[in-house]
Each structure stands twice: as C-alpha cells, then as structure tokens.
Structure 1
Amino acid sequence: MEINIAACQIEVKPGHPDQNFEKIRSRVSEAKKNGDDIVIFPEMAVPGYIIGDEWENSAFINDCMSYNKRIAELSEGLVIVWGSVDADKQKVGEDGRIRKFNTAFTAQNGKIISRVCKTLHPDYREFDDDRHFYSSRKLAQDRGMSVRDYIQPLTVDINGEERKIGVSLCEDMWSDDYSIHPIEILLDNGAEFIINISCSPWTWRKNDKRHRVVRQRLQAQKAPFVYVNNTGVQNNGKNIFLFDGGTTIYNRDGSLRDMCREYRDDVIRTTLFSSRTDVIKRPVLSHERDQEELLSGLIYGLRKFFELIRASKAVIGMSGGVDSSLSSYLVSKALGAENVYGVNMPSEFNSDITKSLARRMAETLRLNYAIVPIQDVYEYSVEQLEQTEFTRLDASGVKKMLELSSVDKENIQSRDRGSRILAGIASALDAVFINNGNKSEVATGYTTLYGDVNGAVAPIADLYKTQVYDLCTYINSVEKKQIFPDELFDIPASAELSAEQDIEKGEGDPFAYEYHDKLLRAFIEWRLDPEDILKGYTDGSLSDTLGMDRNFLSEYFASDSLFVEDLERIWRLYKINYFKRIQAPPIIAVSKRAFGFDLRESQLGVYYTQNYKEMKRKLLGGD
C-alpha cells in the first residue's frame, strides 16, 4: 500500500524551541489538509543542535520536553516524526547530570509511540555528542542486549496496515568508520524504508558524498530512503556553521527521487511504494559549482548571523585590497548596500592606487563611504610614546625611554584604525564592524591584536588568500558588471604599513601564497606535522601531497637550507599565534577545519619531533 510522505525542511532557531514549535505546528496543519500519512522534521528540530553547554540547563531541557508533548498532541490523523532532546530524570549521564538523549520521536493519535535515540555519536570537529547525550549503544549494554537486537524498526498502523519504519538520526547513516551500522541493522530487522533525520552542516561537496553513502547503505538491501535536514545557522561561540538543508528522497536503489532547494524552508511530498519511480539527476561537480555554493553560503551565513545578533548595519574598513573588497561585497549582498558603511583610513604609506580602488569599490557597490585619515593621530601617538619615560621606583633612579621599532609603528596604525575609528563609527551608527582577515593571516598571526584582530564577525577568515582571489574571479564571471577591477589582481598583497611595503615598488606580504596556503592547509586541515612535510620534500612527493606544480619548490627555494628555514618559520608562526586566534571574532566555517572550536587548539609552543630533527640533520649535514 502506498504511503504519502511530507519531508519538511525547516530553519531551526537554536535555543528557541518556541519559534521552532510554531513552524512544526504550521507544517503539521498543512500536512493534515494535504492528506499526508507521515510528516517528518529534522534532528533536534525543537531545541537546535549546536548550543554548547546550554545542554546543562535543566530548565531549558524541561521546556523542550514540554514542547515534545505539544507536538504529540498535534498527531491526530497522521504520524509525526521529529527530533528533540529527551531525558531520564531518574538516571545520571556520564556528565554527572540528568541522562539526556538525542532522540527521534514518533507520535500518532495524540501520543508519543516511539523514542529512538541516536546510536552513533560524532565527537569530531564541532560535535560533542558524548559530552551531553547517552547513546542507544550504551542503553543496549545497560539492558544486556546486543545492539543488533536493540535496534529495531518501528511498527506503525497506516491506513489499517502495519508498516515497519526504520527511524535513524544523522550519524547513524555515516557508519563507515564505526563497528556498528544502524541502517543495515534496521533493514536486516525488517524495515520497509528508512527515515534519517539530520542536523548536518554544509561542508565542501558534502551532499555529493551523502548521495554516495546512501547508495552504499542500500547496496545489499533495497529500500526507499528519506533524508530530512534543516536550514539556518548554528554556532558554538567561535564558529558559525551553515545548514543548507539538502533534504532528499531516495529511490530503493539510492537514486535521487526529489530534493529540496538549498537554504530555504521547503517541503517534499512524495508517495512511497507507488508504481511510479521518478529519478532526478545528481548535481554535477565542478569548480564553478563549488564557488557558487561557497558564495551563497557566505552570504546566507552573514545574513543569518546579523539576524541572530539583532544588528542590521555594518561598518567595514576599506583599504583597496582584495580582502576588504571581497568582505564589502559579501556584507552588501547580505545586508543591502544602504546598510553598509565603508571607511578608508589612509596614512602616508597608502598608495594612490589602493585609495582609488577603495573608492571605486564603494561606488560599484553603492555603499555609504567616508575617508578618515590617520596620519596626524599616528604621528601624535608615535611622538607621545617615544617621549614616554619609565622610572624604576626602587630608589635607584634608573630611567628608560621607550624606543619604537618599525613593527611597533605599523601596529599603532592598525590599532588606530580598528580600536578607535571603526569601533567609534560603529558605536555612533548603532552598527557593528567587520573583520577582514583571511585564513592565511589568521594562521600565521600576520595580524595586529586589537587592531585588525577585532570586529563582530569575520566573513572570510576560513578562506586562504588564494581562495579569496579565486572567489573574486568567480564573482566577476557571474555578475553582469565587473565588480573587482583588474588592478586589484595585479598589485601585490600588502598591509601598506611602512615604506618597506610599497606596492608601487612591488613590495608586499612576506608569503608566496600559492605555496604557503597549501602548506598551511596541510597543517590545519590535514593535521600534518613538519616531519611529514620534510619527508615529502626529501623523497620528492611533497608537490603531489600539496597538489602543486612540481617545479615550484626547486625554483622558489635555492637550497635545502632555505626550504627548511621557511618551513620552520611558517610552523613557528602557526604555533605561537594561537593567542590571537582565540581573541578573534566568530568565523563562518566553510572548510574542513576552521579555527575556533572546530579546530581545537592549545597553547603548546613550537615542537619538532625526533624524526624531524634526524631528517633535517641528514639533509643539511652536521652533528
């Protein structure tokens, strides 16, 4: 017999069960009018998922559980499946608090008829399931049962006929790296079709991988598969995670039957077990598709983050460089150009080229724009500090005058721009100001604390410098007019904070981004050590490992000693600048490892393994 399904992709507001309940109630009402048999909502659709240690707030847990009862009361005449938190108040979890479960609830005829808690708990990247929740694996162990016997499909009466439904949650389908495979177990135990409710953030090409995973899960036993995900953004304080949805109905063989639109509330209505089998094409993977997803995700994330903090206006420093230009574009798309205030803050070191580019960018985007020079204040600050004299108050009378280095003077300019001008303007406009830093700068500490380490959000801090250029190129290719002028790509990347950073003389940042970005990605996202890099260099495989031109290393590094010196320079910068990253603003996570509480760092200092030291000794000679 056919079953009418409504797969509801909704925006989940983390920490706001009242708003989420109203969305669920509205969709259930629509499903009843439509004659749907089963209406399905995402994982943690009531409380939200990534809410940090709010999971330790007992009053909040009780509140969410009361909404579970209210959802069940809506289930007269149909079956509702939704995700929320459940608790056993008579037992204690491994965190010493009431035992909580990440649960898929099923209700029918006004009552909850099933509670299925998550079997596989992700504890990588941003996920902390075992910190907060008790799994079905542990429940099976408590009851002296095997997991295979414990995981059973739900039997539900639909239109007078008993049907067996395999209900699962998110990670339960991503079981390749686990010893337990819940989807296969449900199918072995008689499930006629699978429902997987998820709260799964967007990552690079994740949807394509999910399509492959579902096909793999259905290889041995064919069955329809319903995947329901949410939209919106959720955060753990330091990282803003994007939820694109991607709700999908799969045919018995894992082919795509229907798919929701990205980043919007949507509903798929379909009939399972009908004689008709629709098939849609999988989206074709390409660099252009990757850039399209990246661009739409960043704009969506910014818009939703500003909604979250209840801000509508942004102030942004516009230097005329590529980073501030891209950030200005993204913020204007997210908030509307009329709500963006661009500020150019030149000193004697800023060239006419970049000052002109900043104004042209503001004109192209039609932003509010102002020029606030910093030269006079900069000179006053330098003079004031250089006239500062310290006297030791121990009767010795020792005096010391401050002496400012070139770097000190560069940092004064950066701090004046961020801490004084941008912060002051934002306060006056009842706005927030934006951080323009990219991932290459954040990784190496090529930033000034309290200067350009500032702001409410960092739109491009999960993009390496080369990715910034790539995205600008893509935007130019899809816009009806050229947004980013050719000169922006031609001038060297430079902070323009001293005479030694004169772009008109070809001077710029102390990095070869085409190489150093790949090296940093190896450290950050692939978790490689200098030992791995040096091994690849000595055996000739490093170019392939990093994915770059084989001739670059030999052309860029004139000797083995220069390669090692540069490797240790980048590793040292990466390891010692964690203190800046932890004080940086929230980042929109778009990579496989974003700084913050996605990549969890400790201040450990610089260390080289014994193997590294031995390889270095053999390569360079010496004792």
Structure 2
Amino acid sequence: MDLNIAACQIEVSPGHPDENTRKIIRHIEEAKAKGDDIVVFPEMAVPGYIIGDEWQNKAFVTDCYRYNEQIVESSEGIVVVWGNVDINKDAAGEDGRIRKLNTAFAAQNGKMVGKFHKTLHPNYREFEDDRHFYSARKLSADKDIAIEDFLQPLQVDINGEQRTIGITLCEDMWSDDYAADPIQILLSKGAECIINISCSPWTWRKNDKRHRVVKDRLKNHSAPLIYVNNIGIQNNGKNVYLFDGDTTVYNPNGSVRKVAEDYKEEVLRVPLNGDHQEGQKKPALSANKDNEELLEGLIYGIQQFFELINASKVVIGISGGVDSSLSAYLLCRALGADNVYAVNMPSKFNSDITKGLAQELAETLHLNYAIVPIQKAFDYTVQQFENTEFTRLDGSGQTTELPLNSLVRENIQARDRGSRIIAGIASALGAVFVNNGNKSETATGYATIYGDINGALAPIADLYKTEVYDLCRHINSIEDENIFPDKLFDIPASAELSDKQNIENGEGDPFVYPYHDQLLKAFIEFRLDPEDILSYYRDGSLEEKLGIEPGLVSQIFDSHQDFIKDLEHTWTLFKTNYFKRIQSPPIIVVSKRAFGFDLRESQIGVHFTHRYGEIKEKLLKEI
C-alpha cells in the first residue's frame, strides 16, 4: 500500500516558536484534508537552529518544548514528524545547564509516538551542536548500549498496516567522517524509507554533493529517502546564513524524484511504495549555474535581513566602481529602487570616468541619487590636524605634531564618507546604511575601519574581487540591457584616494586579483599555510593546486625573492587585520568559509613555520 507523505518546506523564523508552531499546525490541517498519511517538517522547525547562546536561556528552551503539546494535539488521524528541542530536567548537559537534545518528534492520534535524537553532531564552521545539545551517541554510551542497538526506526500503524520508518536529522546523513552510520543502521533494521529532517544552509554546490551522498547511502539498502529542509535566514550575530530549502524526494536507487523550488515555501506530496519512480535530472554544474544561485541567494538574503531588522530603506555610497555598482544593483532588486538612496561623494582624486559611471548606473537603476562632495570637509580636517599640537603636561614643554602621511589622508576621506555623510543621511531618512566591502579587501585589511567598514550589513563581503566582476558580467548577460557599462570592466580597480591611485594613468589597487584572490582563498577556505604555498611554488604545482591561470605567476614575479616577499606580505596583512574583520557588520555567507563566526579567528599575529624557513632558504640560494 502506498505511503502518502507530505514534505513541508516552510520558512522558519528563528527565535519565534509561536509563529513557527502556528504555521506547522496549518500545514497539518491541510495535510489531513488532502489525505496524507505522514506530514514532515524540518529540523528545529519550532525554535530555529542557529540562534547562538539563546540555547542557554532556560525559559526560552522550556517554552519551545511546550509548543510540542499543540502539535501533538493536532495529530489526530495523521502521523506528524517535526524538529524541536527536547529537554531532560533531571539531567544536566555538559555545560552544567538543563540537558537539551536536538530531536525529531513523531505524533499520531493525539499522542507522542516517538522521539529520535540527533546522532551525529557537526562541530565545524557555524555549527556548535555539542556546545548546546546531548547526542544519541552520548546517550547510548551512558546506557552502555551500542549505537547500533540504540537507534531504532519508528513503528507506526497507518491504515491498519504496520509501517517501519527510519527518522534521522541533518548530519546523520553526512556520516563519512564518523564512526556511526545512522542511515545504514536504520535500513538494516527494516526501515522501508528514510526521513531526514534538516536545517541545512545553502553553500556553493552543496546540493549537488548531497545528491551524491544520498546515492551512496542507499547503495546497499535500496529505499526511498525524503529530505526536508527549511527556507529563510538564520544568523549567529556575525554571519547571515541562507536556507534555500531544496527539499528532495529520492527514489530507492538514490536518483532524484522530486525537488522543491529554492527559497519558496512548498509542500512535496508523494506516494511511496518502494518501487523505482520516474524522476528528474539534477541540474548540470556550470559557472553560469553557480552565478544564478549566487545572485538569487544574495537578493533573497538582503530581502530577509531587512525584514528581520524591520527596515525598508537603505543608503549606500556609490563611487562608480564595480563593488558599489554591484551592491546598488542587489539592493534595488531586493528592496525596490524607490527604497535605495545612493550617494556619490567625490574628492579631487575621483576621476570624471568614475563619477560618470556612478551617474549612469543610478539612471539605469532608477534609484534615488545625490552628489555630496567631500573636498572642502577633507581640506578642513587636514587643516585642523596640521594645526593640532599635543603638549606633554608634565612641565617639560614637550610637543607632538600630527604627521599626515598619504595613508592618514586616505583614511580621512573614507571616514568622512562613511561616518559623517552616509551615516548622517541614513539617520535623516530613517534608513539604514550598508557598505560595499568585498572579501579580498576584508581579508587584507584594505579598508578603513569606521569608514568603509561600517553599516548594518556587508552584502558582498563574502565575494572576492574576481567574483564581483564575474557576477556583474553574469547580470549583464541576463538583463535586457547592460546594467554595468563596458567601461566598468576596462578601468583598473581603485579606491581613488590619492594621486597614486589615478585610474586615468592606469593605476589602481595594489593587488593582482586573479592571483591574490586564489591565494587568499587558500588561506581562508582551505586553511592552507604559507608553508603549503611555498612548497607548491617550489615543485611547480602552485597554479594547478590553487586554480590559477597557467603562466600567471611567472608574469607577476621576476624571481623567487619577489614571490616570497609578496607571499609574506599577503600573509601578514591577512593575519594582522583581524581587528577590522571582527568589527565589521554581518556578512551574507555564500562561500565555503566566511569571516565572522564561520571562520573562528584569533589575534595571534604572524608566524612562519620551521619548514617554511627551510624551503625559503633553499629557494633564495638558487638566485
């Protein structure tokens, strides 16, 4: 007999169990009306998942648990599976607080019929399960029961027939690096299908990897698998995570049968009978597909973030460069051009080219536009500082003047734009403001704290400079007209803060982005050390390992000495500018590792390993 399952891809509002429970109950009633046998909701569908140390708020946790009562009461005539926190008031967690468990609950006919605790706890990137929750593995160890005996499928009567359902939570499916394999355990105990409830953020090509993982999990025991994920955004204070849903029903052979639409609330209704069903092809991987998902995710994340902070209007600085141009486009798509206020703030260092590009973009996007020059304010500040003298008040008469080198003058301009004009205009409009910093700048500290490191959100701070250019080109390819003029791609990237950054003379940022972006990605996403980089360079595999265009390294560096000098300089910038990153606004996460609490950094300064020194010494002797 068919088993009719409704997989509910809902938007989960983190920290609002009342809203989430009302939504769950509405879907339960709809499932009953449609004759579904089982209705399934995502992991932590009641409280939300990524809510930081709100998990240590006993009153909140207890309140979330109480909402189970309403869901159980609604289960008359149907099996309901949902995610919530379970609590054991008689036992403590390893933090000494009330014991909490990340749990899938099952109810039927007004009674709780099963609880299934998460077995595998992820403790990498943004995940902190062991910080807050007790796992099934720990429970089984406490009871001196092997995990293979501890995990049991749900046994439930549906329409007079006994059904055996395996229920797992998120990481339980990603078991390659763990000693236990919950899906295999449940299938070996006769589970006729597997339900996996998840709260799984979108990251680059993760969905394709999941399809491959599921196929591998089902290769020894064929059974349908239903993956139920939520949509929305959740955050840990520094990182905003996108939840695309992508709820999927898999055939017994692991092929994809049905997939929910990204970022949309949707219910997948499928009858399961254990037979192979016709399915759909997985989307082919490509750079174009990557950019489609990236663009959709960024726009969705901005929309959701502004709803979260109850804001609708935004102020942004627009220079005519590629970063501010992309940010302005994303904000217009997410919030509507009528809610976007773009300000061009030229000084004498800004070229007619970029001022013209800023005006042209504003006209193309039909946003609100103003020009507020900063030259007079900059000159006044410089004059003030030049006339400022500190006197040591110890009777010595010692004085100190303020030396205004080029960097100080550049920072004065950035802070005047960000802290005075943008922040002031946002306050006057009752709006919030955002910055335009990209990941390359954030990684190297090529930005001014309290100047262009400010605002409520950093929309593109998880995109390297080369990725910013790629996404702009993709946008031009899908729009009816070019949003970004060709000239934008021809001029050098430049902060235009001094005569040394004059784009009309071909001068710009002190980076070769096609090289340095890949180097930074190696440091950040893949946690490589200068020792690894220098080793690859020595054996000639650097470009292949890092995905750098062949021949580019020899074009940039004339000698081993030049390469080593640049490597050490870039590593030093990366390691010494953490203080800027930690003070930056929240970042929308789109990469494999974003700055914030996705990449846990510490201010430890710069270190080069013994082996790095040995390789360096040998290379320099070859000169």
Alignment deviations for residues 498-526 of structure 1 (CA, whole Å, 9 cap, x no partner): 01110000010000001000000000001
Query: Secondary structure at 2:47's aligned position in 1?
Result: coil
1:494 positional shift? 0.3
Distance between the aligned counterparts of 2:563 and 2:256, measured in 1? Answer: 49
Contact (CA 8 Å) 2:530, 2:612: kept in 1 or not?
Answer: yes
Alignment deviations for residues 2-33 of structure 1 (CA, whole Å, 9 cap, x no partner): 11110000000000011101110111111011
Which structure 1 segments of 5+ residues have no match? Answer: none
Quick one: which amino acid aligns to residue 221 of structure 1?
H
Instruction: Find the counterpart in structure 2 of residue 457 from structure 1.
Output: 457
* 1:183-222 alignment runs, 5 A limit: 183-222=183-222
1:111 positional shift? 1.3
1:322 aligns with 2:322: yes
Quick one: which amino acid aligns to residue 115 of structure 1?
K
Distance between the aligned counterparts of 2:103 and 2:278, measured in 1? Answer: 31
Instruction: Find the counterpart in structure 2 of residue 475 from structure 1.
Output: 475
Quick one: which amino acid aligns to residue 618 of structure 1?
K
* 1:235-254 alignment runs, 5 A limit: 235-254=235-254
1:605 aligns with 2:569: no
Contact (CA 8 Å) 2:192, 2:274: kept in 1 or not?
Answer: no
**Residue range with higher mean Cα deviation, 547-556 or 466-475:** 547-556
Quick one: which amino acid aligns to residue 376 of structure 2?
D
Moved over 3 A (4+): none
Query: Secondary structure at 1:199's aligned position in 2?
Result: coil
Distance between the aligned counterparts of 2:553 and 2:578, measured in 1? Answer: 28
1:109 positional shift? 0.7
Alignment deviations for residues 552-602 of structure 1 (CA, whole Å, 9 cap, x no partner): 111210111000000001000000000000000000000000000000000
1:502 aligns with 2:502: yes
1:276 positional shift? 7.4
Q: How many corresponding residue pairs?
A: 623
1:434 aligns with 2:434: yes
1:288 aligns with 2:285: no
Distance between the aligned counterparts of 1:553 and 1:47, measured in 2? Answer: 50
1:100 positional shift? 0.2
Distance between the aligned counterparts of 2:42 and 2:493, measured in 1? Answer: 44
Query: Secondary structure at 1:550's aligned position in 2?
Result: coil
1:218 positional shift? 0.4
1:97 positional shift? 0.2
1:34 aligns with 2:34: yes
The structure-2 alpha-carbon separation of the partners of 1:8 and 1:401, relative to structure 1 and needing over 3 Å to count, comes to: same
**Residue range with higher mean Cα deviation, 265-274 or 173-182:** 265-274
Query: Secondary structure at 2:323's aligned position in 1?
Result: helix
* 1:203-602 alignment runs, 5 A limit: 203-273=203-273, 277-602=277-602
Instruction: Find the counterpart in structure 1 of residue 24 from structure 2.
Output: 24
1:275 positional shift? 6.1
The structure-2 alpha-carbon separation of the partners of 1:226 and 1:506, relative to structure 1 and needing over 3 Å to count, comes to: same
Distance between the aligned counterparts of 1:426 and 1:540, measured in 2? Answer: 51
Of all paired residues, the percent bearing the same amino acid is 67
**Residue range with higher mean Cα deviation, 267-276 or 326-335:** 267-276
Instruction: Find the counterpart in structure 2 of residue 46 from structure 1.
Output: 46
Distance between the aligned counterparts of 1:224 and 1:403, measured in 2? Answer: 71
1:278 positional shift? 2.3
1:417 positional shift? 0.2
Distance between the aligned counterparts of 1:181 and 1:276, measured in 2? Answer: 24
The structure-2 alpha-carbon separation of the partners of 1:142 and 1:274, relative to structure 1 and needing over 3 Å to count, comes to: closer
Query: Secondary structure at 1:62's aligned position in 2?
Result: helix
Distance between the aligned counterparts of 1:141 and 1:275, measured in 2? Answer: 37
Alignment deviations for residues 137-183 of structure 1 (CA, whole Å, 9 cap, x no partner): 01101111000000011100000111110000000000011111000
Quick one: which amino acid aligns to residue 24 of structure 1?
I
Alignment deviations for residues 432-466 of structure 1 (CA, whole Å, 9 cap, x no partner): 10110000000000000100010110111000000
TM-score normalised to structure 1 length: 0.99
The structure-2 alpha-carbon separation of the partners of 1:276 and 1:401, relative to structure 1 and needing over 3 Å to count, comes to: closer
Alignment deviations for residues 260-315 of structure 1 (CA, whole Å, 9 cap, x no partner): 00001000001010767221111111111110000000000000000000000000
**Residue range with higher mean Cα deviation, 38-47 or 21-30:** 21-30
Query: Secondary structure at 2:551's aligned position in 1?
Result: helix
Query: Secondary structure at 1:99's aligned position in 2?
Result: strand
1:189 positional shift? 1.2
Distance between the aligned counterparts of 1:277 and 1:594, measured in 2? Answer: 39
Query: Secondary structure at 2:608's aligned position in 1?
Result: coil
Quick one: which amino acid aligns to residue 475 of structure 1?
I
Instruction: Find the counterpart in structure 2 of residue 15 from structure 1.
Output: 15
Query: Secondary structure at 2:242's aligned position in 1?
Result: strand
Distance between the aligned counterparts of 1:376 and 1:402, measured in 2? Answer: 20
Alignment deviations for residues 523-553 of structure 1 (CA, whole Å, 9 cap, x no partner): 0001000000000111111111111223111
Quick one: which amino acid aligns to residue 263 of structure 2?
Y
Question: How large is the RMSD of aligned CA atoms in angstroms?
Answer: 1.0
Instruction: Find the counterpart in structure 2 of residue 132 from structure 1.
Output: 132
Distance between the aligned counterparts of 2:277 and 2:608, measured in 1? Answer: 58
Instruction: Find the counterpart in structure 2 of residue 71 from structure 1.
Output: 71
Query: Secondary structure at 2:364's aligned position in 1?
Result: helix
Query: Secondary structure at 2:123's aligned position in 1?
Result: coil
